[in-house]
Amino acid sequence: MKNKIVLLVALFGTLISCSKEKEVYLFSTFREPADKGLFFAYSEDGYHWNDLGGPWLAPEVGAQKVMRDPSVVQGPDGTFHLVWTSSWRGDLGFGYASSKDLIHWSEEQLLPVMTDTSTVNVWAPELFYDDEQDRFIIIWASTIPFKFEKGEEEEKNNHRMYYTTTKDLKSFTETKLFLDPGFSVIDCVIVKRGAKDYVLVLKDNTRRRRDIEVAFGESPLGPWHDISDPFTGFKSEGPTVVKVGEDYLIYYDDYGNMRYGCARTKDFKSFEDISDQVTLPEGHKHGTIFKVKQSVVDALLKQSKIDKGL
């Protein structure tokens, strides 16, 4: 009896230890010219990032077979889901694959989300897990010529945001308009702060702006209102958001200055440029930041050494 009690106590301690396994930030990324595939960087503090190498998955679908803007979300069952831009133009969908460990991946698919054959492009799909309705929301930017008021943009560069939802990444709801702010918009990211409290980080893609702004809503599907003034400079894109302590860090590709930028905020109303306080691997391009268990990063590091023959 005594031995059984000791065994149960040890088992309980092990379960608690496993449940408290340290978490690490992981940043999905790609490298120009985007034909190599998926890369990762990791960080313990959310500010300083280490290269995890790659490619961990080479692009095989789409007209141009590239992998840009890789967005990763881990579902409640532990599966990692990845979507990406598979072509600059010509595709009516985006790439998709899944993995249990970020090392071994499922067969790649091209998810055909746009039915209008005049669609010019499908850019920067972004995954969001809606925990209140147990579903994934996928948003992306597309141009359908002559569908919206053109403004200053060419017809083939007049983007709006679209979305679909899915429970299992196998069957999808009908594609619908996600955001029409009255101007060309791309690179949107949904952030949940609390119940009925969401922020949308977006890129105004008009020629005169090309900067990053925020909007607010009570649902992850909007409607979105009170679009802010820009908090980044000219020629910035590809935002992703991570909460570190009480702060939100918004990383973005500051391509106008040929660097990676970062803004810090607590309320999405006032922003501090902390680009000089963060470090990222050379060649890092925009993707998404998500948390994983330390064991996931350890396995990636081990596999990376094996791949390098170390």
Question: What's the pTM value of the predicted model, to 2 decimals?
Answer: 0.93
Token pair of 82, please?
Answer: 């990845």
Which residue reads 């679909």 in tokens? 164
12 in any annotated domain:
no
Determine the distance from the C-alpha atom of residue 96 to the mean position of all C-alpha atoms in its chain, rounded to a whole number.
13
User: 53-78 pLDDT, tens per residue?
Assistant: 999 999 999 999 999 999 999 999 99
DSSP code at position 159? -
130 in any annotated domain:
yes
User: 74-85 pLDDT, tens per residue?
Assistant: 999 999 999 999
If you count DSSP H runs as helices and E runs as strands, how many of each does the chain have, helices first? 2, 19
- Rounded to an integer, the average pLDDT of 172-196 is 97
Count of domains observed in the chain: 1
190 in any annotated domain:
yes
Expressed as residue numbers, the domain containing 79 is 23-308
Beta strands in the chain (DSSP E): 23-29, 39-43, 50-51, 68-74, 80-85, 94-99, 109-111, 122-130, 135-142, 160-166, 176-179, 185-194, 197-204, 211-217, 237-244, 247-254, 259-265, 272-273, 289-293
**SS3 per-residue string spanning 19-40:** HCCCEEEEEEECCCCCCCCCEE
User: 29-50 pLDDT, tens per residue?
Assistant: 999 999 999 999 999 999 999 9
3 in any annotated domain:
no
35 in any annotated domain:
yes
CA-to-CA distance for 228 and 181, rounded, in angstroms? 12
9 in any annotated domain:
no
11 in any annotated domain:
no
40 in any annotated domain:
yes
Token pair of 229, please?
Answer: 């003034």
Q: What is the CATH number of the domain that holds 180?
A: 2.115.10.20
